[in-house]
């Protein structure tokens, strides 16, 4: 099974938390060291890359890929030939997985590339203005499934879409951003059927990221035990 590392970390650390690193106020390695105990992985966004540079991203992957799932979110949505090249470079930086858009089409060709990281297709977005994607939600999920992607990104702020994705793709690994700063409560997306919650500013912009990460991890633990009693 792909995403094995992610699930093994979830099991061994008792965590369903992936922290989104976008604008980070301190040196990324220092921040990740502080929260490492409570998270299964970190998601690296374009603001971090642009602020700190690709060498810092490479060093971050080198430092933590042994203990964390390293997820890349560079908002990829290009023609297949360019995406294949981007994903090869992302793999070389040391990432385990990458988030890709689906609306541009051609993801099947991208997914067949040899040197690619694990791929999570973005099926819908968290903000209310993202109507055009939402109209095609079911088609985007099917596009990802047909291409054999490893998982989906679904919005915690729209639990009905998390539930729908879980129904259409029962075996997919579902990652849900939108918790904290964007309004969804920690654990709410897990309850709707997601497997992991992606949390950024609630942790990263906190005066005490370590404490914030632990609080979210604990909220997840409470939900996961209730959920597994249901199943
Ligand atoms: O709002 P936060 O600070 O918790 O960060 C959420 C992260 O998830 C951020 O990196 C953003 O780029 C990403 N994301 C969404 O917020 C919503 C989506 O639909 C997809 C990705």
pLDDT of residue 219: 95
CA distances (Å), 221 to each of 13, 156, 176, in order? 11, 17, 16
Determine the 3-state secondary structure of 69 from DSSP. Answer: strand
For ligand 1, is residue 108 a contact (CB within 6 Å)?
no
In the predicted model, what is the mean pLDDT of residues 191-205? 98
Q: What pLDDT, in 10s, does the model give residues 114-130?
A: 989 999 999 999 999 99
Are the beta carbons of 91 and 116 closer than 8 angstroms?
yes
Residue 39 binned pLDDT confidence (cut-offs 50, 70, 90): very high
Where are the alpha helices (H) located in the chain, listed in sequence order?
4-13, 28-35, 46-52, 54-64, 80-93, 107-111, 131-135, 137-147, 159-168, 188-192, 201-204, 209-230
pLDDT over 90 (residue 229):
no
Which ligand 1 atom lies nearest to the CA of residue 124?
Answer: 19
Top pLDDT among 223 and 225 is at 223
* pTM greater than 0.85 (yes/no): yes
pLDDT over 70 (residue 221):
yes
For ligand 1, is residue 199 a contact (CB within 6 Å)?
yes
pLDDT of residue 225: 73
177: CA distance to ligand 1 center in Å?
5
Q: How far apart are CA 26 and CA 30, in angstroms?
A: 7
pLDDT of residue 228: 62
Residues 6+ apart with CB under 8 A from 51: 23, 24
pLDDT of residue 213: 98
Q: What is the DSSP letter of 128?
A: T
């Amino acid at each position: 099974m792909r995403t094995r590392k992610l699930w093994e970390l979830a099991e061994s650390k008792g965590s369903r938390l992936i922290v989104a690193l976008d604008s980070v106020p301190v040196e990324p390695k220092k921040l990740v060291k502080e929260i490492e105990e409570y998270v299964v992985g970190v998601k690296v966004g374009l603001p971090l890359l642009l602020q700190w540079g690709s060498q810092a991203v490479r060093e971050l992957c080198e430092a933590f890929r042994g203990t964390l799932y390293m997820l890349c979110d560079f908002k990829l949505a290009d023609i297949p030939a360019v995406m294949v090249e981007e994903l090869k470079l992302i793999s070389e930086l040391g990432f385990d997985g990458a988030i890709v858009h689906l609306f541009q089409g051609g993801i099947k060709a991208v997914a067949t590339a040899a040197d690619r990281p694990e791929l999570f297709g973005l099926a819908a977005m968290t903000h209310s203005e993202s109507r055009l994607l939402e109209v095609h939600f079911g088609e985007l999920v099917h596009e990802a499934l047909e291409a054999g992607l490893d998982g989906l990104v679904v919005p915690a702020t729209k639990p009905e879409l998390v539930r729908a994705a879980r129904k259409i793709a029962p075996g997919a690994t579902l990652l849900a951003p939108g918790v904290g700063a964007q309004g969804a409560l920690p654990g709410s997306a897990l309850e709707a059927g997601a497997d992991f919650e992606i949390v950024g500013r609630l942790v990263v912009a906190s005066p005490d990221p370590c404490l914030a990460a632990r609080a979210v991890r604990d909220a997840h633990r409470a939900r996961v035990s209730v959920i597994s009693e249901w199943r």
